A and B are shown apart, each in its own frame.
Chain A
Amino acid sequence: MFTVFKREISSFLSSLIAYIVIVVFLLVTGLFMWVFPDYSLLDYGYASLDQLFIIGPWLFMFLIPAITMRFFSEEKRTGTIELLFTKPVTDLQIILGKFLAGFALVLFAVLPTILYAITLWYLADPVGNIDTGGILGSYIGLLLLGAVFVSIGIFASAITENQIVAFIVGLFLCFFMYSAFESLKLLNFPVKTQLILEQLGISSHFYAMSKGVLDTRDLVYFGSVISLFVMLTKTVLESRKW
């Protein structure tokens, strides 16, 4: 598992993808946080990082499938998958190695935004008067959301040899899991169904966490979705044996 992880990380570092993803993420969040007058924190009047956590998931929706799209599709296209699967590692170890590599990149993209939080701390009046719990919860939520997107992206990559297809499918699934359920519930469903639909989507759990409350239900939700997509990926990869 560690071997696969190491290779993916070094592949990120030797290609431009990792740098572009991190730079784009920081640039866009930075612009929204500090520069664009309509959204800028400086004109906002409240000491909050809301902009980051609103724009973050939408950026991840595009960036994460872009970093995960080559994970399996490239190996399938070039045939290196045959080498990988004849090494003494299990399919699950391979998937987890790639998953962790993708997540590490997400972590590196999010990490510098702590600077935003520190700036906010000093901008607040009086200094330090910010919702630390809410911000911490949002960060954990954002990372978990990133992890879910990585697992979705890996799944999308496993079903095709074509990176573009993997990207588009990944993007669609991320979008669907993040916000489609929220919107679907607005259809004329009974109240109970609406509640279930809402609970199925990522956004409701993400917002629950951004209030600073770490509810085990939300953690279980994120854990289950990640496991679901990891298992789906494993099933797809094992289909070579059918």
Chain B
Amino acid sequence: MSVKVQDLTKIYGIQKAIDHISFDIAEGAIVGLLGPNGAGKSTTMKILTGFIPQSSGNAWVHGHDVGVDSLEVRRLTGYLPESNPLYTDMYVKEYLHYVAGFYKIARTEARVKEMIDITGLGIEQHKKIGQLSKGYRQRVGLAQAMIHDPKVLILDEPTSGLDPNQLVDIRKLITEIGKQKTIILSTHIMQEVEAMCERVIIINRGKMVANDSVAQLQKKTGAASVQVEFSASVEIGLLKKLPGIVEVRNEGGNRWVVSGTAKTDIRKLLFDFAVQKQLTVLSLNQRENSLEEVFRELTRKK
């Protein structure tokens, strides 16, 4: 196991930031750590990187206890903290050399150059970090996290605040790196998880509510939904009365999103309904049961 977490608990004062979390992550996996704001994602990451200690429970990185063997764990992990803090008064190259100085790196100069190439910092490499745009700062943050070729990468919201092009670039970069390394990343963007992660761990209010593969999670929640557009207005009460319908939501005008239990084929139901009411169905789309809905369902309840 690359990362192993057992009954990890962190208490701030009287508040439990994380509450008996346990999971294993195999080597080479990319795992998404999800949860609403304040759920305990960052806390979990801070414990794994040895920045703060846990209140109880244990965590290991490649067999090294994060509390006991902190220095070794720090050598094995690369960390990009949530706000991507950087020394803005340093030059990009200077900064990477500085970070490299903390580790035993054989040929620093070559390694720094390699990192600049990998993260696409080439044209900005002679600038001060303070002059860089957010996307490029994020690359510097990633470069410093990976400079010592860590076995485990811990990235706290690596794509926050990036424009769509940069998002795609950074995601591609992470997926590329993830082929050789174990990566734990946190994010709020569900498409990102679907695009990058093999497994998802969802935390809500400090408790782990899901730990499964993306596909498995999508299957798990029973509800399937359909988007439908009628030619004329329909009373919401009539739709709700149909057998097997769980939820009906208006999406403006005559467009509705209708969810039902997995057993019912809502499309047929809705079509029959339309015929019966002498309506025309303008569009009818089966909605992929997106991770977003799974997420919402799992984190909504207290």
Contacts and interface: CB of A to CB of B under 8 A. Distances in A.
B43 interface: no
User: Which 10 residue pairs are nearest across A and B when measured between Cβ atoms?
Assistant: A79-B85, A3-B101, A87-B102, A88-B74, A80-B85, A86-B49, A88-B75, A82-B81, A86-B79, A88-B71
Given A80-B86, A85-B51, A86-B77, 18 more contacts: A3-B101, A3-B102, A7-B98, A10-B94, A79-B81, A80-B85, A81-B85, A82-B81, A83-B144, A86-B51, A86-B79, A86-B81, A87-B102, A88-B75, A88-B102, A88-B103, A90-B71, A240-B52
B70 to A, nearest CB: 9
B244 interface: no
Interface of B: 46, 49-53, 71-72, 74-75, 77, 79, 81, 83, 85-90, 94, 98-99, 101-103, 144
Contact of B79 (A3, A6, A14, A83): A83
A241 interface: yes
A79 B85 CA distance: 5
Interface string A57-87: 0000000000000000000001111110111
Contacts of A86: 49-51, 74, 77, 79, 81
A78 B85 contact: yes
A6 B53 contact: no
Contacts of A14: 89
20 contacts: A3-B98, A3-B101, A7-B90, A11-B89, A14-B89, A78-B86, A78-B88, A79-B81, A79-B85, A80-B85, A82-B85, A83-B144, A85-B51, A86-B49, A86-B81, A88-B74, A88-B75, A89-B71, A240-B51, A241-B52
Interface of A: 2-3, 6-7, 10-11, 14-15, 78-83, 85-90, 240-241
Which applies to chain B's interface (DSSP): helix, strand, loop or mixed? loop
Contacts, number: 60
Nearest to B78: A86
Nearest to B46: A82
Nearest to B73: A88
Contacts of A10: 90, 94
B52 A87 contact: no
A241 B98 contact: no
Q: Which of B51, B74, B103, B144 has the most CB of A within 10 A?
A: B51
Contacts of A88: 71-72, 74-75, 102-103
